[in-house]
Structure 1
């Protein structure tokens, strides 16, 4: 191995590390946060590119830069796609898994074939948090990062992000035992549009935090039919009437029939 070969290899390493640092700076990858499966696979690919080019004298620095830039662009493109496209997000990104709900162990979560959960590992993680009795726990779940979140009995209820960056989070809505219509009802009661909401958090079972894109915070209790304004009551009545037109028509016919009978009573023969 000549001095020229060593210098050439060191130059490739310097250029490769510089490209990686620029990539991490542009994508904020240097900040603390869980890695996605795409990032994990990308790390192996980047290592292969660096190692293969480093020990190959047939690949010039120019082509090495092209390979590195192309690889990093593909990794970022896949990360963005899994964030924007829902079915890709569900297939690639890690999901949270509830393990204890309403004080009871969620047996179904441990029986799922696509989720690797160990009951002994759960108990060990609880002991690490100073919890030695499962009956003390109201709610616990495995976060996408792999961390265990626990709420003890009497400490409250979990919070749910119903809207994130103008899009409904159907998983959180279902976990909160709410519906999309209920979320739209809260938006109308607060006087805001879905696309204007940066975050809607449902907490304490009856409170909402709505953070708008312009930084405005709206804190309010959930809106129910009993505390809505007249306009909202009219809208809700219209929805209920539209959902059951046949029942309404039948009731109107019954009323008309009884009115006619009262006006013209039939003469029953006396015994």
Structure 2
């Protein structure tokens, strides 16, 4: 019995990981209700079958593999046929259009006014009049575009020319050089040590954290 449970759990875990890979590189917040449902269903398969002696390992594998094939088939259809995507996974709904609340769209999506206000407050918006557009995404997230009068002031509005931004790269982590990162940015250890020497550090073990960006240079935190 113990062997059977072990095989079921390991097999189920491997197939579950493969199914998650089929979903692509999504965060949980990007999952549609459909994505959640078929993950919950496969979890139910595993839960019901692992400790049931009447269910064999092969029956578990068959069920999960069949479910995985169906998921893959559906995902393929969604990718290839645009008309099927709204039917299977839903589509964005414009709740506020050019500053006007669309009551029909609100009701069609079974969204109550107070629910909408809660979602807006979570994004720092406390009145519908602050909105120009609000779009309810298929995953239930609300994307908003503020009215121009309530948008933050930008550098362009003030005719300013701020410095360009650039990615920072972690080059030293707890006294260890991140060689892969150095290679990624086209640098080497010699360059790094010369730069750290210029910053006043001779021993790499002195450094707890060191990041570098092309625009801002080094940010270093020494070991205390």
Structure 1 residue runs of 4 or more that deviate by more than 4 Å after TM superposition: none
The 1:68/1:125 distance shift into structure 2, 3 A limit, reads: closer
State the aligned residue count: 149
- Structure 1 residue 13 displacement after superposition: 0.7
Structure scoring higher RCO (CA < 8 A, sep ≥ 6) equals: 2
Work out the CA distance in 1 between the residues paired with 2:40 and 2:130: 43
Give the conservation status (yes or no) of the 8 Å contact 1:38–1:78. Answer: no
Give the conservation status (yes or no) of the 8 Å contact 1:98–1:106. Answer: yes
The 1:124/1:45 distance shift into structure 2, 3 A limit, reads: closer
More helix, by proportion: 1
- Structure 1 residue 30 displacement after superposition: 5.7
For the pair 1:97 / 2:123, whether they are aligned, the reply is no
For the pair 1:71 / 2:67, whether they are aligned, the reply is yes
Return 5+ residue gaps in structure 1 as ranges.
157-271
Equivalent position SS for 1:131: coil
TM-score normalised by length of structure 1:
0.48
Task: For 1:24-103, list aligned pairs within 5 A.
Answer: 24-25=20-21, 27-29=22-24, 31-32=26-27, 34-103=30-99
Q: CA RMSD in A?
A: 2.5
Return 5+ residue gaps in structure 2 as ranges.
151-224
Structure with the greater alpha carbon radius of gyration: 1
C-alpha distance after superposition, 1:44-67 (max 9, x if no partner):
431332234323334432343232
TM-score normalised by length of structure 2:
0.57
Task: For 1:250-269, list aligned pairs within 5 A.
Answer: none
Work out the CA distance in 1 between the residues paired with 2:55 and 2:89: 35
